[in-house]
Amino acid sequence: MSPLSDKLILSDTDLDAQIRHFTGRLDNYPRSERRDILRALHWSRKLHEGQQRASGEPYIIHPLRTAEILIDFRMDPATIKGALLHDVLEDTEVDRSELVEKFGEDVATLVDGVTKIDDMDVGKSARKAASLRKMVWAMVEDLRVIFIKLADKRHNMNTLQYITEDERRLRIARECLEIYAPMAGKLGMSSLKSELEDLSLKYLKPETYAQIKEHIALKKAERGHYLEKIQGNLLQAANQSRMRIEVATRAKHFYSIYRKMKDKGKDLEEIYDLLGVRVLCDTPEACYVMLGVVHRLWVPLEGRFKDYIASPKGNGYQSLHTTVLTEGGRPLEIQIRSRTMHETAEFGIAAHWAYKEGKSPDQIHPRQVAVVKQLQTLRDEGHDDDAGEFLDAIKRDVLRDSIIVYTPKGDPIELPEGSTAIDLAYSIHSEIGEHCLGAKANGAIIPLTRPLENTQTVQILTSPNAHPHVNWLKHVRSARARGKIRAWLNSHDANVLIDRNIVARQKPSVPQEEPSPPPETNESSSSKLETQVLDQEKVGITIGEERNMMIKISQCCAPVPGDRIIGYVSRGRGIVVHKENCPNLKGIEDFDERRIQVDWETASSRTTQRFRIHSRYTHDLFSEIEAAIRKFHGHLISGSLDETERGDLEGFFTVEMESRDDFKKISKSIRAIPTVLSISKVQNFQNRYYG
């Protein structure tokens, strides 16, 4: 994108000046450690000599910047050295044994862990999932690996303009927004998460990014005067209450403003709470006192108060959030937290490697290692067989919003938002899951299938006679619970076969003769851009003497979740599933004898609707449609996008909702997407309730 003349060309003098600046930032480390860090820097510089970045900079600038980011996070010396050397195994002739000899096993392990993590290509899901799996395995062994990778990604995103291929630049930005920014958030590194989100937005939505940037710049002088007055009012009120506080004011991050625009369906001019104020107090008790001071100064907005001190987020984040109406009815969000809480909010788990404080990773709060336990569970469950399934599990179990519930002993357990007591039972132990009978939340009996709430204390009730039911699959949210339930049913219930998100009931009797397979139409000649079907996991099944059978989705009618379906048993091909109205069914001999009842595994009492969209070409339409559906509590079951011969996009989506009326809201939300030209229901799709 940028011409060659825009690239940065540094002289040796410039580079030496930057290295001297880096050296000055090492003052917090003991002299012996400083010497070792600088030895790693100069060795890395020598190894990368002659190599250049796409920006035209000497390559050493990249590891230098990566290390500087980690110095800002006050990481330990081994991590700083690992950052300076993180590319030497991949890009130079050095091998691991030489690295161990010069800098020890600890640094070599960190460098080796980062080297194994390839950059993911969003357009190639198998490679992306495999790379993500390597990253998770390395993280489980040592979290500092992901700290280095996140810092590496932060600097790469800051120089993304030098990558000339538009498609590659967009893929990298999407990968950052989908994987790395959420991972930083899960680790509690909120400042890094916000930076990665803003940099992703810059390339994924350049016009929106420029609009927000210009809007904030135009209001800079007015904003400065306004925030200065707010800061003075807070300091004066705190002083009168004999409280010692610090006040920081800021414009909100661009991505958070963008999300407000999308979630509320408003233009930038209609978003008024673009500013934020943070108040730091000495103690948690002082935070609540300061909250009262704030509410005496300005009227709080109803429904806009959140207490994350009493109910911390899953990553350990604690703060009080309140939105108040200041002069002229101007809304302003104020965050109140202690200084210790602020360190956790900014640095997350990384704060526990802060060298000057002498902390150890063993001292990390249990809330903050919840994400590590989730990753360990995924590793131990053996998802190596299917990289795509592993990617889905990471997105569903780790990167999505979560809740924290407690066992009766007070142990915190992090679960995906919407999880039930069944998910909790399986997260404790598969035996408890298989024999769970009921649950108590805060001492009161609740249904096993009711979604749990954040901070509840939940007791699982078990019975040796209890066992999993197919119905449980409609209510669980975690990959572990779903996989364990499916495995148990396939092993213990001969009348239920589960595969490819389909439940086949009744043990069929298989005739000896095999009919000719029905004719199947060819795939569309248009270029398939994106197809996603949620919860499509694969489990081997057994029918009679035939083992490891799989359910096959017929390509002639290609049913997706939400379609009415019917199946028949075909020797050698397993159970073949068609739409109920597929015309090819008439050509199958002995169909009535071979038919078998099949249902979608995810069927529920909610209603579903399939619809078609027509849109101008854009790179992130799928995610925008998913966000529009989620805004009204819908659930995207499946979707596909094709590029037409005219260069537009045509897509078919199936959405699950609480009621039929919700589709009107969802349809209106999708129409508000700027590139969408039309949306219509698929007329031959029978909208109905499952159950």
The CA distance from 105 to 176, in Å, is 30
Of residues 675, 672, 690, the one with CA closest to residue 609: 690
Does the annotation mark 90 as catalytic? yes
Contacts of 611 (CB under 8 A, 6+ apart): 652, 653, 655, 663, 667, 679, 680, 681, 682
Q: What is the largest CA-CA distance in the chain?
A: 91
- Check if the beta carbon of residue 542 is closer than 8 Å to that of residue 515: no
- Check if the beta carbon of residue 325 is closer than 8 Å to that of residue 298: yes
Contacts of 362 (CB under 8 A, 6+ apart): none
- Residue 149's identity, in one-letter code, is K
CA angle, residues 290, 295, 298, in degrees to nearest 5: 125
- Check if the beta carbon of residue 636 is closer than 8 Å to that of residue 669: no
Tokens of 220: 């800079």
HEC states along 13-62? HHHHHHHHHHHHCCCCCCHHHHHHHHHHHHHHHHHCCCCECCCCCECCHH
Catalytic residue among 6, 16, 49, 91: 91
Cross-sheet strand order for the sheet of 676-681: 527-533, 635-643, 649-657, 607-615, 676-681
Catalytic residue among 6, 49, 90, 411: 90
Does the annotation mark 580 as catalytic? no
- According to DSSP, residue 457 is labeled B
Alpha helix stretches (DSSP H) within 435-552: 479-492
- 373's enclosing H/E stretch is helix 370-380
> 257: how many CB neighbours lie within 10 A of its CB?
23
- Check if the beta carbon of residue 203 is closer than 8 Å to that of residue 173: yes
User: Which residues belong to the active site?
Assistant: 90-91
